[in-house]
Structure 1
Amino acid sequence: MTQYLLSVPHDSDEEPTMETMDPAELEAALAATGAIIEELTSTGALVFAGGLMPPSSAITVDNTGESVSTVNAPFVEAPEYLGGFWIIEVADEEAAVGWAAKASKALGGRIEVRAFQVPPSE
């Protein structure tokens, strides 16, 4: 079994949070997301899921020099950002893409699928 990250991109021009979303849109998004999580859980595929606060809330930490540096900003500016994700464990990429298709349909947006790296076996 391989673990995959199913990520939910958001447009950087908008930074929706649960507090700022229209209540009806929030309810629909939570219902759609909840249904996917319930289905993933019932099949044993769900490892973990979460929604992230927008990039404007990020703190970048750099401790590679003489002292720790913190910046109240994301480490990279981009036209889109990671808004939420599911980590799933399934048999293969085809199964991961199938789950992404369900999530995309439910949420009405794109989903990116990426496998986690596995160290080479000796």
Structure 2
Amino acid sequence: MTLYLLSLHQPRGELPPDPDFLAGVMRQLGELRAELVSTGSWVFGQGLHGPETATVLRARDGDVLVTDGPFVEGKEYLGGITIIDVPDLDAALDVGRRYALATTLPIEVRPFQAGAGD
């Protein structure tokens, strides 16, 4: 099995979705999560607050500079993550497709590097 990160990217500046649409998205995501849990593929997932809540820490000359706001400005921001444990990239892409269909958001699928002892 391999760990994959599914990153959900949200567009900046758009109004919140219609409550009925959002309820449908949440229902579909709940069903998908329940399925992943039942197959042992679910590791972790959670939405994130908006980029305006971010704090960036940068090491400089032996000190750490603390700044408010996101690391980068962009048209989209990281809105949430899900970590899954599946056999291969094809399985991860299948889950990613289902997230994209449920949320209508771009989903980035990336494998984790193998750690020590893996």
TM range (shorter): 0.7 to 0.9
Determine helix, strand or coil for the equivalent of 1:14: coil
CA drift of 1:39 comes to 1.1
Number of equivalences = 117
Among 44, 53, 64, which residue is 1:68 paired with?
64
Measure how far apart 1:67 and its partner are.
Answer: 3.2
Q: List aligned pairs for 1:21-100, cutoff 5 A.
A: 22-100=18-96
Shift of 1:62: 2.2
Deviates more, 1:101-110 or 1:36-45: 101-110
Partner residue in 2 for 1:8 = 8
Supply the distance in 1 between the matched residues of 2:108 and 2:28 (Cα, whole angstroms).
Answer: 17
50-59 or 27-36, which deviates more: 27-36
* Structure 2 unpaired stretches of 5+: none
Preserved CA contact (<8 Å) 1:55 1:74: yes
Which of 95, 98, 113 is the aligned partner of 1:117? 113
Tell whether the 8 Å contact from 1:15 to 1:54 is kept in structure 2 after alignment.
no
Q: CA–CA distance in 2 between the matches of 1:62 and 1:120?
A: 26
CA distance, structure 1, for counterparts of residue 52 and residue 15 of structure 2: 8
Identity over the aligned pairs, expressed in percent? 39
2:2–2:88 Cα contact (<8 Å) kept: yes
How far the C-alpha of 1:81 sits from its partner, in A, is: 1.1
* Partners of 2:72 and 2:10 in 1: CA distance: 15
Instruction: Kindly indicate whether the alpha-carbon contact (under 8 Å) linking 2:10 and 2:106 is maintained by their aligned counterparts in 1.
Output: no
Task: Give the partner amino acid of 1:115.
Answer: P
Structure 1: distance between partners of 2:34 and 2:60: 41
Note the C-alpha offset of 1:15: 7.3
Give the drift of 1:85: 1.5
- The structure in which a higher percent of residues are strand is 2
Instruction: Tell me the TM-score normalised to structure 2 length.
Output: 0.85
